[in-house]
A and B are shown apart, each in its own frame.
Chain A
Amino acid sequence: MNTELLLDMLLAAGALTLAGLSLLARQVFTAILLYISMGLLVTIIWVRLNAWDVAIAEAAIGAGLTGALLLIAWRRLADEDALQTSQPAEFKEVDDVPET
């Protein structure tokens, strides 16, 4: 019982930590990798909650395909960056939202 509680606490803390790191990471690539890692931890959490349907969906869509989409989008941003400057992709270079 206590080991299970400890495991759950570790999972919850790990998921929250990875989520925070993913939000705060300065490099886009690092943020994506942290996000995928968080998805895998969340998958284990769903399994612990006995929600196997959601666990499979989270692993396949949340961590897998979303990760692939983010990585390919990151590559495109990096390519565009390389055309403009010779700097690696960073947030400041890419999310150029026009201000009102």
Chain B
Amino acid sequence: MFLRLEFSEGKHSRSGLSLASRWLLGGVISLLSLALMLAVISTDKATPGLAEWVSTHLDRSGVENPVTAVLLNFRSYDTLLEIAVLLIVALAILPGPNADAAPWLSVDERKPVSPLLAGLLCWLVPMALLVGGYLLWTGAYSPGGAFQAAAVIAGAGVALTVAGRHRFCWQSSAARLSLMVGLLMFMLVAAVSGLITGTTLQYPVAHAGWLILLIETLATVSIAAILLALFTQLHDMAAAPDKEGAP
């Protein structure tokens, strides 16, 4: 691959900009990046930041991992919006709901799959689900969490899709629910905690632990579903021209 590495000037830039304006743009962007780097370097290192505050308040967060504490408790608003953004992305690319659509996951046993690949998937997919569950659970006290777990689980779905027998369809109600359930539960917890403690997303300290686990679990389901939906949608599109081409 690296032997055929080719570089070309201007062949893939059909933006209509002249060479001079492209150099000018490049210069401006480089200067801006340089200024940002200088700003980072010149920032006073003595400023303690919020790390100390987080570690002193960790016992009130319900979890032991400071990263999870910040993402799911102290600054959970950010995470809520991240999940909402992901859902918007999924809605933008998916076709509309259709009650008569194919089920969420359909298996075509007749499709020929290499026995080696089928055997590998038999081990790989349960393994990925297990690792995903572990990453989700371990997020409470060591590195891990909903996004990492969801990516691993979505990876299992990607492997299944690429192998060819399994097909995911996102038009049924169950599939739609799996896309939304993370955001729904997050917003429900936000509303209820707002009613109880008076501040939205400020969980009662005694219940913070299982509330975070509940949100993370359903968020994992949703994020995995959204990431997988992105992939399967592109996969179906890529497969479509073949079908049209065949008489």
Contacts and interface: CB of A to CB of B under 8 A. Distances in A.
Contacts of B14: 92, 95-97
A99 B242 contact: no
Contacts of A53: 65, 67, 143-145, 148
Interface residues of A, number: 33
Q: Main SS of chain A's interface residues?
A: helix
A82 B158 CA distance: 24
B12 A92 contact: yes
Contacts, number: 88
Given A53-B145, A65-B158, A76-B234, A99 B16 contact: yes
A64 B238 contact: no
Contacts of A80: 241
The CB with the most chain B CB atoms within 10 A, among A33, A65, A99, is that of: A65
B241 A97 contact: no
A8 interface: no
The CB with the most chain B CB atoms within 10 A, among A53, A90, A97, is that of: A53
B245 interface: yes
Nearest to A76: B238
A68 interface: yes
Interface string B214-247: 0000000000000100110011011001100100
A24 interface: yes
Contact of A97 (B11, B15, B143, B148): B15
A99 B14 CA distance: 9
B8 interface: yes
Contacts of A10: none
A9 interface: no
Contacts of A48: none
Contacts of B231: 65, 68-69, 72
A43 B105 CA distance: 32
Nearest to A21: B5
A79 B235 CA distance: 12
A75 B235 CA distance: 9
A78 to B, nearest CB: 9
Nearest to B145: A53
B15 to A, nearest CB: 7
A91 B235 CA distance: 20
Q: Which 4 A-B pairs give the minimum distances between C-beta atoms?
A: A91-B12, A60-B151, A52-B143, A76-B238
5 contacts: A53-B143, A61-B227, A65-B231, A96-B14, A99-B15
Given A53-B144, A60-B148, A69-B234, 20 more contacts: A25-B5, A26-B8, A27-B4, A27-B6, A52-B143, A53-B143, A56-B143, A57-B148, A60-B152, A69-B231, A72-B234, A73-B234, A73-B238, A76-B237, A76-B241, A79-B241, A79-B242, A95-B12, A97-B15, A99-B15
Interface of B: 1, 4-8, 11-12, 14-16, 65, 67, 135, 142-145, 147-148, 151-152, 154-155, 158, 227, 230-231, 234-235, 237-238, 241-242, 245
